């Protein structure tokens, strides 16, 4: 069955252009003109990935993202009108895995979708379970436990944690993490890493304001420690 991508965009011209670009890649395209429509039909449409515009007539793209994240870890790409730090960070904090800016470059969009779909696949099954302080990470099952209780991470957060735990105690640069987790070697953006680290901390840290496990090493990157 082909990959199904839900596009949420009120501008018909853009929606159509995106549909052509995605169909060209062999993906099936589902469409919604408003966030309300998308949320209502989300379960029956069961998309493999969601592309959501921030600027929508009713509830905006941020709200759509937050609503979807309440019950789903479907990969989400946010579409922003410009490369505005506030919008990008707010989108990622709302739960998006990645973002693209308008005007949408079809090749870049396809590359980002492909990278994100790759991430959805389970980790290397040979990766052994590991314990980091009060955290237990089981890569091939996609499970993380904190003090014995399972916690829910999105696929991107999970891959980020696995990557950091693969090299426990070692500082990994943003560039390295972008390459390993997002699969980007040239159009990466450190904000993707920073916001995902913040999101990860809210879930795995005893006190997210004073991280004990996912530590920032100023000017160098991040490391995971017990
Ligand atoms: Ca719009």
SS3 of 35, please?
Answer: helix
Confidence class for position 13, pLDDT limits 50, 70, 90: very high
- d(CA 162, ligand 1 centre) in Å: 35
Q: Is residue 157 a contact partner of residue 198, using CB atoms and an 8 Å limit?
A: no
Ligand 1 (single-atom ion) residues, CB below 5 Å: 10-11, 53, 55
Residues 6+ apart with CB under 8 A from 8: 31, 32, 33, 34, 35, 37, 38, 50, 51, 52, 53, 56, 61, 64
Q: Is residue 127 a contact partner of residue 161, using CB atoms and an 8 Å limit?
A: no
- Average pLDDT (134-163) is 92
- d(CA 86, ligand 1 centre) in Å: 17
Per-residue model confidence (pLDDT) at position 121: 60
- d(CA 28, ligand 1 centre) in Å: 21
- Kindly report the pTM of this predicted structure: 0.86
- d(CA 206, ligand 1 centre) in Å: 39
SS3 of 48, please?
Answer: coil
Per-residue model confidence (pLDDT) at position 27: 97
- d(CA 56, ligand 1 centre) in Å: 5
- d(CA 10, ligand 1 centre) in Å: 5
- d(CA 37, ligand 1 centre) in Å: 14
Confidence class for position 186, pLDDT limits 50, 70, 90: low
């Amino acid at each position: 069955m082909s990959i199904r991508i839900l596009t949420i965009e009120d501008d018909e011209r853009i929606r159509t252009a995106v549909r052509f670009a995605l169909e060209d890649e062999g993906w099936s395209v589902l469409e919604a003109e408003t966030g309300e429509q998308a949320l209502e039909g989300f379960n029956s449409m069961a998309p493999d990935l969601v592309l959501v515009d921030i600027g929508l007539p009713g509830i905006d793209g941020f709200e759509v993202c937050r609503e979807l994240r309440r019950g789903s870890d479907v990969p989400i790409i946010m579409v922003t009108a410009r490369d505005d730090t506030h919008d990008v960070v707010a989108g990622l904090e709302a739960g998006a895995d990645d973002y693209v800016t308008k005007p949408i470059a079809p090749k870049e969009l396809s590359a980002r979708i492909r990278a994100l779909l790759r991430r959805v696949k389970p980790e290397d099954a040979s990766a052994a379970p590991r314990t980091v302080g009060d955290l237990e990470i089981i890569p091939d099952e996609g499970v993380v436990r904190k003090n014995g209780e399972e916690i829910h991470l999105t696929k991107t957060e999970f891959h980020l944690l696995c990557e950091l735990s693969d090299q426990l105690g070692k500082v990994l640069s943003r560039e390295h993490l972008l390459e390993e987790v997002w699969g980007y070697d040239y159009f990466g953006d450190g904000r993707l890493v920073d916001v995902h680290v913040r999101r990860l901390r809210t879930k795995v840290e005893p006190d997210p304001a004073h991280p004990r496990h996912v530590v920032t090493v100023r000017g160098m990157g991040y490391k995971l420690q017990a």
